[in-house]
Amino acid sequence: MNVYNNWVLISGGFGLIGSNLVKHLYRTTSYNFLIIDDLSSGNKDNLREIISDKKRIITLVKKVENLTSEIINNYSIKISMVFHFASRASPKDFHDHPIDIMMTNSIGTKNMLDIALSYGAHFVFASTSEIYGDPLEHPQDESYKGNVSPIGIRSCYVESKRFSEAMIDAYRRKYNLKTLILRIFNTYGLEFGINDGRVIPNFIFNAIKRQELIIYGDGMQTRSFCHVRDLVKGILEIMMVDDAYGEVFNIGNPQEISIIELAKLVLSITGSESNLTFKEIDVFDPRKRSPNIKKIQSYIDWKPKITLEEGLQEIINNIQ
Ligand code: UDP
């Protein structure tokens, strides 16, 4: 294949998931990369090992909602894959940057779809378990339609991701675009920034600093955490399967843990004696969340392998 014509356009390429995806594809394929990222939650340092390879990696610091086909055409490259992975995803950002999130996942999604269409490229979208809201079915499979609200702190993320899915489905139906929607459940990894605000980095950084761990509600709400390297392996496999295009897949680790158990696990691994402090929980905070991953497993031979203990230990070792 002509390497010159073999470009990936990825939004959010400096984020937790995007950077791991780029790193892996860089090492295992001949793809070149045009990364668009506004650095709102991503960090260039996440690609420090490969970013200096200017022949294969171009960086555009820009908001995806301001991206146009003309801007991309100026690069004179042929794009065969488009990944729309940009978006702030921390509930902390739902408070602080709701409109930004909605723009990324509405106009931003449309812009990325139009570029994919103009190049006849395949389109892969990082959707989210949030589209199930506070689920009444457990674990959640892809046919579950969700228990969601257009009003509330999390709605900017939930509803704009749902809008994105609907927009992608419309492009698939109207233009026959090859689209792949991945509903990504809670993901964690080394690339979490200190101010990320999600539960794993909060607990780890506070435990190490011997500061209190804040638990919202009674801590009995559950999540299922997938290590980003496991997640990316699954993405890389499913994106190679022709029949997967046009489909929607859950992807994540079904192993479920309550937030209080997670706090205790972090304290035990760090050897910290930080106190647990309980605070009021947001009314829309999902009570339970775990993916049913049977559908993706019927397409690829994949399952998450890194245990939560191993993954947490790796992050803690990296900080200490
Ligand atoms: N949470 C917590 N303490 C924190 C951060 C989060 O108790 O410092 C809880 C939060 O209320 C939620 C769960 O942990 O029930 C997971 O939160 P996170 O922000 O990681 O992501 P979410 O899955 O809610 O999108």
Minimum-distance ligand 1 atom for the alpha carbon of 289: 23
Question: Rounded to the nearest whole angstrom, what is the distance from the C-alpha of residue 307 to the centroid of ligand 1?
Answer: 19
What is the per-residue pLDDT for 194? 85
Residue 77: what residue type?
I
Give the CA dihedral 74, 80, 86, 89, nearest 10 degrees: 180
User: Could you tell me if the CB of 135 is within 6 A of ligand 1?
Assistant: no
Residue 2, pLDDT score: 40
Query: What is the model's pLDDT at position 270?
Result: 96
Question: What is the phi-psi region of residue 229: left when phi exceeds 0, alpha when psi lies from -120 to 50, beta otherwise?
Answer: alpha
Interatomic CA distance for residues 292 and 171, integer angstroms: 27
Whether 132 is a known active-site residue: answer: no
Kindly give the number of the ligand 1 atom that is closest to the alpha carbon of 213: 8
- What distance, in Å, lies between the first and last C-alpha atoms of the chain? 44
Identify the CA nearest to 296 among candidates 230, 223, 229, 244: 244
Q: Chunked in runs of 10, what are the mean pLDDT values of the chain (320 residues)?
A: 72 98 96 97 96 96 96 94 97 96 98 97 98 97 97 97 98 98 98 92 96 98 98 98 98 98 98 97 95 98 98 93
Token digits of residue 290? 């775990």
Ligand 1 and 89: CB distance under 6 A:
no
Show the CA angle centred on residue 144, arms to residues 140 and 150, nearest 5°.
Answer: 105
In this predicted structure, what is the pLDDT of residue 5? 66
* Ligand 1 atom nearest to 279, measured from its CA: 7
88 Cβ closer than 6 Å to some ligand 1 atom: no
